[in-house]
Amino acid sequence: MKTFNFALAPERLWQAINPWTFYQQGSQIGFVNIDLGSTPAPETEQTILDEVGSYGRQIGRIGDALEVLLKHVPLENLSQEEQDALVVLKGQLAEIRQIKERQGRKQSQDRSESR
| Per-residue confidence (pLDDT) for residue 104, from 0 to 100 | 86
* pLDDT band of 105, cuts 50, 70, 90: confident
Question: Measured between alpha carbons, how far is residue 68 from residues 11, 38, 62, 64, 90 in Å?
Answer: 35, 32, 10, 7, 11
Percent of the chain past pLDDT 90, that is, above it, reads 45
Residue 28 clears pLDDT 60, i.e. is over it: no
Residue 33 clears pLDDT 80, i.e. is over it: no
**What pTM does this model have?**
0.56
